[in-house]
Structure 1
Amino acid sequence: MNLKKWSPWNWLHQEGKTASEVPVSSRQSSNYPMARFRQEMDRLFDDMLHSFKFPELPEFGLGREWAGLLKPNLDISEGKESYSISVELPGVSKEDVKVSLDGQRLTISGEKKHESEEKREDYHCVERSYGSFMRILTLPDNADGERLHANFKNGVLTLKVPKAGDVAVKGREVEIKGD
C-alpha cells in the first residue's frame, strides 16, 4: 500500500533553513573548518530561537507595515492540470521581484522601498524604510518547472506550474509578466 499519496506535499520543508542546509548546486569547501563551525552555530541558534517561539520581528521595532513583507503571505492550490501559487506583495513593484528555479526549488525574492516626506511650516520630516523578503518552495515531483510562468497584478504575484510526468528541471530565472 502506497501511503505517500495520502500525505500532503510539504511545499515549505526547505524554508527557514539556513543556506548551508538547503541542497543546492553549490560547493562547500572542507578547507575552512571555522566557516563550517560558524554555519553550524548559526543553525543551532536559529533552531533554538525558533523552538522558543520568540516574538515576531515587528516587536523588535520594524513596524507593523513590514510584518507581512519579511515573509509575504502565500496561497497554494492544486487543480487537475496545474498548481497555482499566489503571493501577496502590496507596495512592491514587478521590477523589484525575482522568481528563480533550481531543480525543484522555487525561490521568490525581492525588496520593498518606501520613502515619505512631510513638510510643514515648523518642521520637515523624511522617513525611509527598506526591506527584503525571500520565500523558498519545493515543487512536487510531478510539477513541470520548465513550463512555470508568473504574472504580477495589483500587488499579487501569481505562479502557475503545470503538472507533468517525470521531468528533469534545470535552473533558470522566471520572467514575470503583468503591470
Structure 2
Amino acid sequence: MLLTKFDPMRDFRDLEERMASAFRLPEIGSELSNVSGFTPSVNTREGDYAYHVEVDLPGVKKDDIHVDLKDNVLTISGERKTKKEVKEKDYYKKESSYGKFQRSFTLPDNTDAENIEANCKDGVLEVVIPKVERSKKEAKKIKIK
C-alpha cells in the first residue's frame, strides 16, 4: 500500500497552473510570439495633499496618450507605435511593437477633480490628483416618530 501525503491546496495549485497556461504567450520563435498586448506598469502613491499615479510609457508619444475623467473614474489610455530598424552589410532587421493600452482607477471621494494635472517626461506619465479637505459634519440626532 502506497501512502501519499494529503495536500488540500494541490487542487487549487493545479487549477491556477491550468488557468495561467491558458493565458501564456506563445514561445519565442513561434509564429504568434510577435502578437502581444502592451500593459504599462503603474505606480500609485498617496501624499499628504495629493494622490500620484505614475505610468511607465517608454516609446509612447505625448500625443498618443489620453487621460480622461468620467463618473469619478480616471482612465489613462493610448497606443504605442515603435519601430526598430537595423541595416548592416550582411543583414537587415526591422522590429515593430504596437499595442493599445487602457488603465482605469476609481478615485476616492476626497479628490479635487477640477485641478487634476498630468505631465509626461522621459517616458513616464505622472498624474497628480489633489485632495480636498472633507468638511467634518457634526453629528445630528434624528427623532424617531
Q: What's the TM-score once normalised by structure 1's chain length?
A: 0.54
C-alpha deviation, 1:56, in angstroms = 4.2
C-alpha deviation, 1:99, in angstroms = 0.6
Aligned-residue Cα RMSD (Å) equals 2.7
After superposition, give the CA deviation of every residue in 1:61-115 in whole Å (9 maximum; x if it has no partner): 147xx6xx72211111111211111111111111111111102111101111122
| Shift in alpha-carbon separation, 1:135–1:58, aligned structure 2, 3 A | farther
- Secondary structure class of the residue paired with 1:90: coil
- Secondary structure class of the residue paired with 2:20: coil
Matching residue of 1:111: 79
After superposition, give the CA deviation of every residue in 1:105-157 in whole Å (9 maximum; x if it has no partner): 11101111122333344444433331111101111111112111100011100
Matching residue of 1:142: 110
How many residues are paired up?
113
- Gaps of at least 5 residues in structure 2 are 1-15, 135-145
The answer to whether residue 68 in structure 2 is matched with residue 100 in structure 1 is: yes
Q: Which structure is higher in helix share?
A: 1
Asked if the contact 1:115/1:128 (under 8 Å) is kept, the reply is yes
- Secondary structure class of the residue paired with 2:66: strand
Corresponding letter in the other structure for 1:129: S
- Gaps of at least 5 residues in structure 1 are 1-48, 167-179
Instruction: Choose 1 or 2 for highest CA Rg.
Output: 2
CA distance in 1, matches of 2:80, 2:70: 24
Matching residue of 1:89: 57
Q: What's the TM-score once normalised by structure 2's chain length?
A: 0.65
Matching residue of 1:34: none
Q: Which structure is higher in strand share?
A: 2
Asked if the contact 1:70/1:134 (under 8 Å) is kept, the reply is no
